[in-house]
Homo-oligomer: A and B are copies of this chain.
Amino acid sequence: MAAPPDPQRRSERARLAILDAALSLCRETGFAALTIEGIAERAGVSKKTIYRWWPSKGAVLLDAVSDLAGRTALFPDTGDFERDMNTQLNVVVGLYSPQDTSPVAALVAEGQLDAALAATIRAQVIAPSIAGFEQRLASAQEAGEIPREVDPSVAVDLFYGPLYHRLALRLGLPDADETRVRIAHVMAALRATV
């Protein structure tokens, strides 16, 4: 006899279908043209189902991006901090690429125009990511790769700054080679006594 349908599993399947639909539609149409109706149609659920869980398309996209970043933008620890920073930063650049249709880039831009949305993005996505960075930096400091005096808030600005300079001013996102050169400079900066 087949097992009876599991409502919890079905509801988790619907949730994932909605998050997937939000990401793929945003990539196709951009954030401005994204609608709850479109997401519902793509995910094969009713609009009512979406509104039961989320108040707006921005809220759906934030959960989708948060889920995506939480699964991909992790901090590896191979024992080589510079190599691990290259790995992680290239993943982050990938999340913003191509900038014109990246749901992550759209959400971050919207956050610059909307302080309340920015606070939610910060709490849900950015703060956990910075905590992950700080943990990886601390382990590099313990291993003697980076001096103990280095201030994590300086280090995070220096490592991630080049990407956000390019992103905010649309100067073209850095490729792996450009990222490698910038990280090498930041490593030198953090090792120097200032």
Assess the B185–A158 pair: CB atoms within 8 A.
yes
Nearest CB of chain B from residue A98's CB, rounded to whole Å: 11
- Cβ–Cβ < 8 Å partners of A165 in chain B: 156-157, 160-161, 163-165
Asked if A194 lies at the interface with its beta carbon under 8 angstroms from chain B, I say yes
- What mask results when residues 111 to 127 of chain A are scored 1 for a CB within 8 Å of chain B, else 0? 11101001101100010
Asked, given contacts A32-B113, A105-B112, whether A167 binds B170 with beta carbons under 8 Å apart, the answer is: no
Asked if A181 lies at the interface with its beta carbon under 8 angstroms from chain B, I say yes
Kindly report which residue of chain B lies nearest to residue A30, judged by CB atoms.
B113
Asked if A100 lies at the interface with its beta carbon under 8 angstroms from chain B, I say yes
Q: How many residues of A contact B (CB 8 A)?
A: 46
Assess the A157–B167 pair: CB atoms within 8 A.
no
Kindly report which residue of chain B lies nearest to residue A109, judged by CB atoms.
B112
Kindly report which residue of chain B lies nearest to residue A153, judged by CB atoms.
B178
Asked if A16 lies at the interface with its beta carbon under 8 angstroms from chain B, I say no
Assess the A194–B168 pair: CB atoms within 8 A.
no
Checking B158, B170, B181 against A161 with a beta-carbon cut-off of 8 angstroms, the contacting residue is: B158
- Cβ–Cβ < 8 Å partners of A185 in chain B: 154, 158, 189-190, 192, 194
- Cβ–Cβ < 8 Å partners of A160 in chain B: 161, 165
Assess the A106–B113 pair: CB atoms within 8 A.
yes
Nearest CB of chain B from residue A97's CB, rounded to whole Å: 14
Checking B109, B156, B171 against A109 with a beta-carbon cut-off of 8 angstroms, the contacting residue is: B109
- What mask results when residues 144 to 164 of chain A are scored 1 for a CB within 8 Å of chain B, else 0? 000000010010111011111
Assess the B171–A112 pair: CB atoms within 8 A.
no
- Cβ–Cβ < 8 Å partners of A2 in chain B: none
6 closest pairs, A vs B, by CB?
Answer: A161-B161, A189-B189, A109-B112, A157-B162, A188-B192, A185-B189
